[in-house]
Structure 1
């Protein structure tokens, strides 16, 4: 990702989860019972045969529209609709990021320091699409859509979990880069300022003029589960490192705590973002 990009640029298709494979098997059973080939079902539903095959093999997350069409064409008796409710929504997530994404769903605290890109949880669609569309190797249109769908789904955490404490430490230069252009940056800052108004979210900016701080070794994420266990996650260019060793986590917690004291206070951070927005 760096958390900024990782949940994103995964493999072209997700690794099959148990729920995706189960749904695919159910779909295949209904299709074969109705004496449809994959090509025939695809034609009746308005999808490609490749897409139908990918769903049956557990490699594609079917949309609600796909499920509803399958119900109608195959007379699914509500079974397909019920099976779809248990699907693991991990399409578009890099394989190395999925364990962390699962833990995010139950975290009571989530801390993020980012120095490369604005974190995925705070990105706007325009900002995220700028990243996706400039990814190397290039992504196809369907992959870009899958990446954004996964990110938008993940961003719901900020609103769906009001009792989770979120802390973000962001380098000032992330906004000065003007990723995607002035209009995209305006929208991004407006969005971040809006998120900062939530009671469970703290956003601090590490000023550009700061001779040194405790996070110079790179981005980090820390989270605490409901069982009061702590985990950490670091990411590089082509992979991520999931950390459960208490000694390593202790070091990262120490650094994050120091950075919170070195960054601008909450009110000053908001003020800086507002001035940056006004200067665009």
Structure 2
């Protein structure tokens, strides 16, 4: 679905929510209380500024007695079989974010991955996958990254743990190309990248993958992920704690200017290794 068509469809979702809410005699606050979100969130859903999570859409159906209308519409609009169920909504949010900040403890974030790197990660996670599945997954990841090529691209801040520079995903040649790609994104001013070095100590390993997103007309959102699931953080207090954790990581990391030579040196090490094998 094209971006304009997708937005129009979400506007229809919001208009239907407003119509059915008013027909049921609820204010935004009253409906929000019953589905465990704020009245302001209901207003943002109705204006298509923010998309509800699936469980919220299901609770709206229950409260408004709409026989699964909002769940079915949500699944049609946001469910993308190319992504894990828990990640599909994050992809949708990335497309409307004005700023994205990420901390990557072990792997290059998807928005910065090359095709070879993404392929190696996909195969490692799915060793029995078909070639078709692998290539669809890689294509979807590269498609996500196109938001960084748009004229209206979000500000993109990344903190990479030094692990990311040292783990040879896909082999030495693939890693050299991957790190070169990151350097290129920095030099093109499409990403601001810092490296959190090993020297910062054990406390840095206690924070997992973290993504923070800001929007023009909606509150910020966070996302964390483990190997098997992901969690979207919508609660303002939790998002604030996540933002503080990210600020501490950024303060502990090398500056962008000092990080770039470290990434370039790691790429050169992999290049030398590839040339001797």
TM-score (norm 1): 0.66
- Structure 1 unaligned blocks of 5 or more: 1-17, 20-86
Q: Report 1:1-280 matches (<5 A).
A: 90-136=80-126, 138-213=128-203, 216-280=206-270
Q: Which moved more, 1:176-185 or 1:128-137?
A: 128-137
| Aligned 8 A contact 1:89 1:150 in 2 | no
Query: Highest relative contact order (Cα 8 Å, sep 6+), 1 or 2?
Result: 1
**Which SS does the other structure have where 2:156 is aligned?**
strand
In 1, Cα distance between the equivalents of 2:91 and 2:118? 18
Deviations along 1:81-113, whole A, 9 cap, x unmatched?
xxxxxx979341111111111111010010110
User: Could you tell me how far 1:138 is from its partner in structure 2?
Assistant: 2.2
Instruction: Tell me the C-alpha RMSD between the 2 structures.
Output: 2.4
Q: How many residues align?
A: 198
| Aligned 8 A contact 2:212 2:220 in 1 | yes
**Which SS does the other structure have where 2:231 is aligned?**
strand
- Runs of 4 or more above 6 Å deviation: none
**Which SS does the other structure have where 1:156 is aligned?**
helix
Greater share of residues in helix: 2
- Structure 2 unaligned blocks of 5 or more: 7-76, 271-277
In 1, Cα distance between the equivalents of 2:182 and 2:239? 27
| Aligned 8 A contact 1:92 1:149 in 2 | no
In 2, Cα distance between the equivalents of 1:198 and 1:107? 20
In 2, Cα distance between the equivalents of 1:234 and 1:88? 19
